[in-house]
Amino acid sequence: MKTDIQSAFRKHINDHHLCNKGDKILLAVSGGADSMMMADIFIKEGFSTGIAHCNFQLRGDDADWDELLVKTFSLKNNIPFYSIRFETKSFSEEKRLSIEEAARILRYAWFEKIREHHGYTFIATAHHQNDNNETLLFNFFRGTGIHGLHSIPVKQGKIIRPILFLTKKGIKEYVIENNIPYGEDITNSSDDYTRNYLRNTIIPMLEKQFPGLEKRLNQNIKRFAEAEQLYNESIDRYRKYLIEEKENEFFIPILKLKKCTPLDTITYEIFKEWNFSFDQSLQIIQILDSDPGKSVESKTHRLIRDRKWLIISPLAEKNVSYILIEKDRSLVETANLSLHLQMQSGEGYKIPAESHIASLDAAKITFPLLLRTWKQGDYFYPLGLGKKKKLSRFFIDQKVPLHEKEKKWVLESDKRIIWVVGMRVDDRFKITKGTKEVLKITLIYDL
């Protein structure tokens, strides 16, 4: 069995281009069977690794025991060990987040900090096939539509999931066969958390009624991902067919829209770009046959029915989300992203190629910085272009799907955009030969 799993592991790594043998991999190890198995197989495959462990101080002595277990395992295998203790409950209350969300933000921000500081290429997490199935059902019950059915991505930025192909059963068999120590998280058996309720109650009940359910769910995840790709391509064609942009407004011809089928789905997908809900999209359909002057408002935009057009305009800027960032702040979190900021010497600095890392000339920047959601009318000077461009046009040129635009943020210094977060820095703030100090900002992807 060990040989079979190691072969499947290598195939999974190669098929998805997750990493190479020369890469340094930071392993996120909680002490559970999943992450301990992942650590063992990386060691057996001869990778250069380090182990990072988070103690969220939520399980008393059990959490301390897990920390000791992982530390002992690391020392036994001569692997660098990094650990941290978080005040998770206080952080969740301060930020008004669930414990699960707070723990996620804390751990991924810390993992990225360790990865950068110690030169690791990727961060490996021990998500497996059952996690994938739980995420699929979780998103289905939440009503995310087709966009939530592809489940957990196998690679996202610097995060890789090398055992996503394995089942929980296969992992347990591996750790028992190879005498790998691991801890049991007693909170996993509690239904206090939504995912645990799915794992412990809903899925076993469905599995009893439909034997082989989990295997079929996993097979369907790939089909859903491919179906979503086709779906998105179709919706993008309708967007290009229907939407005309002029200055800060969007115009959709009523007659063209009325001829589209299926009208409910197309209307929802088109107008959710401007934060109109599904119920509001039904109101928009009713407006198609009403007199001019009728309107619908989302939290960011207003739609007005003209004689031949639906006209969408942004509401007042007071609805735009923003965060002020002082010079001494190293970590910024929102519900959608986290940013890690650090000052580095400009001498010998090598600019990372990844778009999720911004390297800026610190001398050209004025604090505090302003992190905010983008708005119509925004413009910047894209690196390498040398002239100004509206963000709306930049997103079109970069082929950003309309439903993704609402998630985009910009970073400002003295009312000038210095970075379209995760995409492009402003040419006016780029690093030159004369740069003495670099502000390096890393986007930690939302999972």
- Work out the average pLDDT over 53-59: 91
In this model, does residue 422 exceed pLDDT 50?
yes
CB 152 within 8 A of CB 133: no
Question: In a 3-state reduction of DSSP, which class is residue 115?
Answer: helix
State the span(s) of the chain assigned CATH 3.50.40.10: 321-444
Span 208-226, average pLDDT: 84
The amino acid at 250:
F
The whole-number pLDDT of residue 447 equals: 43
- Global pTM? 0.57
Position 42 confidence tier, pLDDT thresholds 50, 70, 90: very high
Radius of gyration of the chain (CA): 24
pLDDT at 435 over 50: yes
Among 23-32, 183-192, 222-231, the minimum mean pLDDT is found in 183-192
pLDDT tops 90 at residue 283: yes
Tell me where in the chain the CATH 3.40.50.620 domain(s) lie.
2-218
Higher pLDDT, 320 or 268: 268
Question: Which residue did the predictor score with more confidence, 446 or 128?
Answer: 128
Residue 123 belongs to what H/E stretch? strand 122-124
- Residue 344 bridge partners (DSSP): 438
For residues 151 and 136, is the Cβ–Cβ distance under 8 A? yes
**Percent of the chain scoring above 70 in pLDDT:** 94
Q: What is the pLDDT of residues 243-266, one digit of tens each?
A: 999 877 899 999 999 999 999 999
Tell the CATH topology of 2-218: Rossmann fold (3.40.50)
For 14, the token pair is 């190669």
pLDDT score for 335 = 64
Residue type, 216: R
Give the CATH superfamily of 321-444: Phenylalanyl-trna Synthetase, Chain B, domain 3 (3.50.40.10)
Check pLDDT > 50 for residue 413.
yes
Whether residue 32 has pLDDT greater than 60: yes
- For residue 402, pLDDT over 90 is answered with no
* Predicted local confidence at residue 239, as pLDDT: 94
pLDDT bucket at 108, cuts 50 / 70 / 90: very high
* Measured CA distances, 327 to 105, 322, 346, 428 (Å): 21, 16, 18, 20
Would the pLDDT of 317 be above 60? no
In this prediction, residue 220 has a pLDDT band, given cuts at 50, 70 and 90, of confident
pLDDT at 404: 67
- What's the confidence (pLDDT) of residue 60? 84
CA pair distance 147, 135, nearest whole angstrom:
12
pLDDT reported for residue 217: 83
Nearest CA to 263 among 284, 277, 245? 284
Residue with tokens 């040398």: 386
Which H or E run contains 44? Answer: helix 33-44
Residue 191 has pLDDT above 70, yes or no: no
The answer on pLDDT for 403 being more than 60 is no
Q: Give the whole-angstrom CA distance, residue 413 versus residue 409.
A: 14
139: confidence class by pLDDT, cuts 50, 70, 90: confident
Q: What is the pLDDT of residue 400?
A: 81
pLDDT score, position 200: 83
| Cα-to-chain-centroid distance, residue 348 | 31
Strand pairing category for 159-160 and 122-124: parallel
- What value does the mean pLDDT take over residues 366-379? 93
